[in-house]
Amino acid sequence: MALIVQKFGGTSVGSTERIKNVAKRVARWRAQGHDIIVVPSAMSGETNRLIGLAREIAAEPDLRELDVIASTGEQVTIGLLALAMHAEGLKAKSYTGAQVRVLTDSTFSKARILQIDDARIRADLEQGFVVVVAGFQGADADGNITTLGRGGSDTSAVALAAALGADECQIYTDVDGVYTTDPRVVPEARKLDTITFEEMLEMASLGSKVLQIRSVEFAGKYKVKLRVLSSFEDEGEGTLITVEEDKRMEQPIISGIAFSRDEAKLTVLGVPDRPGIAYQILGPVADANIDIDMIIQNVGRDGTTDFSFTVNRADYNKTLGVLETVKGHIGAREIVGDKHICKVSAVGVGMRSHPGVASSMFRALAEEGINLKMISTSEIKISVVIDEKYLELAVRTLHKTFDLDKAE
Ligand code: ADP
Ligand code: ASP
Ligand code: MG
């Protein structure tokens, strides 16, 4: 008998029919004697609909109120799931994040979980209840409702698994595991039986939305056994995220290709080339709570230089606003931006021991006539920023270049 946390994504609870199927699946696990905590997302499309309603009233909604609105999607699915479980003859009880006390900080719309009060859940489990906890949400120390950022139910599930010392955290979704790249873009993508935390962290942070990055961080930190599985199939082991590196002789150099469409680039032209300039530009951007990704500063000429960086596309207008104020202070010439870019990355721990990955990548993209606008590398990844219209072509090309379509 084990304690298992099972998270079901939006598509998996997308209709009452599917919610009934989830209840049936949970009933099978219960019949085997396992204790189960279920963490659903909102029904697919619902969180977008709720945020859309808020934006009909305010273009830049107050984030505290936005969280009050966005968190309701999950409140509906927990109740529906509990009802569906009752219909299966199970004892089940639902809780919102605030009720269980998923304590978070007060960063509305991207709050971090600080602590989870497990007493209530443990008591219910002991009495034979399936405990259904709303994903994506918590409450801060003052009782304000918070949400954990898009895709945050993954993190709720892993955090609950960590807090309760669960034997496994199962992420049920609309694909049967983690693939070498998004199977919706490359049909030849292969399912991986295992992937290391390190690689999964990179894949998630570089845009593979199959797991929210914080859920992977959490699982790594608290040693949670994390598995991605299909909610539509009954067979299959899915993908296990492992601490161990693949010890086989023929370790693949590249494990996967990640991409992100949510990118935008901003360039400050004609910046005086003197100490402190990067801080003067990026300090106010960071103060506005905008995450900065890649940064490039050109070689100075005639005492000035150009400074480029990328941000999430949703933060583009806000960043432009910040830079317009900065421009006057530092005496820059002009601000230009490009919203039609994307980022494509090759990820693999095998890269450490194999030089030449970058050159293979750049050659393959050059042969397709794809221009690289920015490049960034780490020990286990290479990322390029390109025109968004080349995204699919670039991902397919790299998937092939690194033989990811070939069976191991
Ligand atoms: P859920 O609603 O269940 O949380 P998501 O849409 O957040 O589901 O995540 C699952 C989706 O992630 C898949 O449908 C797939 O299109 C996408 N995805 C992106 N990269 C990958 C990858 N490397 N492996 C599997 N799925 C991926
Ligand atoms: N419903 C939330 C979202 O759409 C959280 C999640 O699905 O994980 O982002
Ligand atoms: Mg998700």
Helix (H, G, I), strand (E, B) or coil at 340: strand
Residue 248 confidence (pLDDT): 55
Residue 328 confidence (pLDDT): 87
Euclidean distance between CA atoms 183 and 59, whole angstroms: 34
- Cβ of 175 below 6 Å from ligand 1: yes
Over the chain, what is the mean pLDDT?
94
Give the tens place of pLDDT for each residue, 296-331.
988 877 889 999 999 999 899 999 999 999 998 888
Residues forming beta bridges with residue 38, ordered by sequence position: 6, 132
For domain 3-174, give the CATH number.
3.40.1160.10
Q: Average pLDDT, stretch 47-52?
A: 98
Residue 96 has pLDDT above 80, yes or no: yes
Residue 114 has pLDDT above 90, yes or no: yes
First to last CA, the chain: 34
Residues forming beta bridges with residue 191, ordered by sequence position: 179
Residue 209 alpha carbon to ligand 3 centre in Å: 6
Q: Which atom of ligand 2 is nearest to the CA of 136?
A: 5
Residue 152 alpha carbon to ligand 2 centre in Å: 6
Residue 301 alpha carbon to ligand 3 centre in Å: 46
Residue 182 alpha carbon to ligand 1 centre in Å: 7
Ligand index nearest the alpha carbon of residue 109:
2
> Measuring CA to CA, how many Å separate 364 from each of 301, 367, 393, 402?
32, 5, 11, 10
Euclidean distance between CA atoms 299 and 306, whole angstroms: 8
Residue 273 confidence (pLDDT): 87
Query: Atom 4, ligand 2: which residue's CA is nearest?
Result: 47
108: which 2 tokens?
């509305």
- Cβ of 61 below 6 Å from ligand 1: no
Residue 279 alpha carbon to ligand 2 centre in Å: 34
Give, as one character, the DSSP assignment of residue 176: S
Residue 258 alpha carbon to ligand 1 centre in Å: 11
Q: Average pLDDT, stretch 7-23?
A: 98
Euclidean distance between CA atoms 12 and 10, whole angstroms: 5
Residue 278 has pLDDT above 80, yes or no: yes
Contact (CB, 8 A) for 268 and 209: no
Confidence of residue 353 (pLDDT cuts 50, 70, 90): confident
Name residues whose C-beta falls within 8 Å of residue 37's C-beta, 6 or more positions apart in sequence: 3, 4, 5, 6, 121, 125, 130, 131, 132, 133, 160, 161, 164, 166
Residue 187 has pLDDT above 80, yes or no: yes
Residues forming beta bridges with residue 335, ordered by sequence position: 268
Ligand index nearest the alpha carbon of residue 39:
2
Helix (H, G, I), strand (E, B) or coil at 407: coil
Residue 246 confidence (pLDDT): 58
100: which 2 tokens?
């269980």
The best mutation among 148, 182, 343 to test binding of ligand 1, ranked by most ligand atoms within 8 Å of the C-beta, falls on 182
Ligand index nearest the alpha carbon of residue 43:
2
- More confident site: 82 or 405: 82
Ion ligand 3 residue ranges (Cβ < 5 Å): 9, 151
Confidence of residue 44 (pLDDT cuts 50, 70, 90): very high
Residue 41 confidence (pLDDT): 98
CATH architecture of 256-401: 2-Layer Sandwich (3.30)
Q: Average pLDDT, stretch 247-255?
A: 70
> Measuring CA to CA, how many Å separate 95 from each of 129, 135, 199, 281?
12, 10, 33, 44
CATH topology identical between 3-174 and 256-401:
no
The best mutation among 8, 38, 41 to test binding of ligand 2, ranked by most ligand atoms within 8 Å of the C-beta, falls on 41
Give the tens place of pLDDT for each residue, 357-394.
999 999 999 999 999 999 999 999 999 999 999 999 99
379: which 2 tokens?
């020990």
Give the tens place of pLDDT for each residue, 18-37.
999 999 999 999 999 999 99
- More confident site: 289 or 244: 289
Residue 6 has pLDDT above 70, yes or no: yes
Residue 403 alpha carbon to ligand 1 centre in Å: 21
Q: Can you give the residue ranges of every domain in the chain?
A: 3-174, 256-401
The best mutation among 102, 153, 216, 218 to test binding of ligand 2, ranked by most ligand atoms within 8 Å of the C-beta, falls on 153
Model pTM score: 0.92
Residue 250 has pLDDT above 70, yes or no: no
Instruction: Please give the share of the chain, as a percent, with pLDDT higher than 70.
Output: 98
Confidence of residue 81 (pLDDT cuts 50, 70, 90): very high
- Cβ of 73 below 6 Å from ligand 1: no
Q: Which helix (H) or strand (E) holds 275?
A: none
Residue 175 alpha carbon to ligand 1 centre in Å: 7
Contact (CB, 8 A) for 385 and 372: yes
